[in-house]
Amino acid sequence: MIYRTDYHIHSTYSDGRSGPEEYIAPAIEAGLSEIGFSEHLNLFSDQDGSVMAPEDMPVYLKNIETIRKSTTLIKVKTGLEVDFFKGKEKETGEYLENLDLDYVIGSVHYMGEKTVDNGPEFYEGKSIDRLFESYIDTVCAAVASGLFDIIGHCDLIRIYGFKPSGDPEPHYRRLARTMKQHNVAFEVNTNGRNRPLADFYPDRKYLGIFHEENIPVCVNSDAHMPSRVGQYFDEAYELLRYVGFTEMAVFDKRVRRMVPF
Ligand SMILES: [Zn+2]
Ligand SMILES: [Zn+2]
């Protein structure tokens, strides 16, 4: 069996539609070797009620541990998808270091007070060139913070299909080099296919850059419902193989190892 993992799953602890136990059978069905939960955690701002309440953390961790112990056909891992805010690195780190996690996904959803993925209105009247550059700057700061094992949907700013006027290649190169320098993995996030973008993150045109810079990769569904676990994974792995990737990152207790796929 080919080794596959899906580390980016949202259950009812944040904004997913089903409890974590309901994702296990579909994950086995999808041929996955590991499934990992990654509830939204935002310590500083919650505009739309989609994040896990910090007081739910102990029961979340315990619930996933119970599922892990009672599941034999697939490995169950505990993670979080944590919102990154520049200037809040210290507080974020202090919170995370006390948690028993297999990995932490760091994501940039916020630019200033607003989220970039809650409607195209955010983009109205703004320079896409400047937004794109500024978004990648923030993702680079997330990478350099040392807080995260994996960066989530690293070019989420593409979600509504707005494109910078120039060639964004230097931005992807800068991002990949920062990942290299700080030893952070990225994900191919297949959920972009379900959004207005209708394609994966990051832009497949620039995946070769991540391979050239030798950045560890995961394939993740970002599923918010059980039917989307492992969605489009055949295509995502085929794409990675085409680009030249031969192995992927697997995490245990925040230690990474590489596994061939
Ligand atoms: Zn996200
Ligand atoms: Zn997510």
Strand, helix or coil at 222?
Answer: coil
Cα(10) to centroid of ligand 2, in Å?
A: 6
Cα(107) to centroid of ligand 1, in Å?
A: 6
Is the CB of residue 233 less than 8 Å from the CB of residue 39? no
pLDDT of 50 above 90? no
Question: Which numbered ligand comes closest to the C-alpha of 139?
Answer: 1
Span 94-111, average pLDDT: 97
pLDDT of 76 above 80? yes
Instruction: Please state, in angstroms and rounded to a whole number, the distance separating the CA atoms of residues 189 and 178.
Output: 19
Cα(8) to centroid of ligand 2, in Å?
A: 6
pLDDT in tens, 181-236: 999 999 999 999 999 999 999 999 999 999 999 999 999 999 999 999 999 999 99
Q: Which residues surround ligand 1, an ion (CB under 5 A)?
A: 107, 152
Span 157-170, average pLDDT: 97
Cα(111) to centroid of ligand 2, in Å?
A: 17
From residue 78, alpha-carbon distances to 39, 110, 205 in Å are 9, 24, 31
Is the CB of residue 41 less than 8 Å from the CB of residue 80? yes
Cα(153) to centroid of ligand 2, in Å?
A: 8
Instruction: Please state, in angstroms and rounded to a whole number, the distance separating the CA atoms of residues 36 and 21.
Output: 12
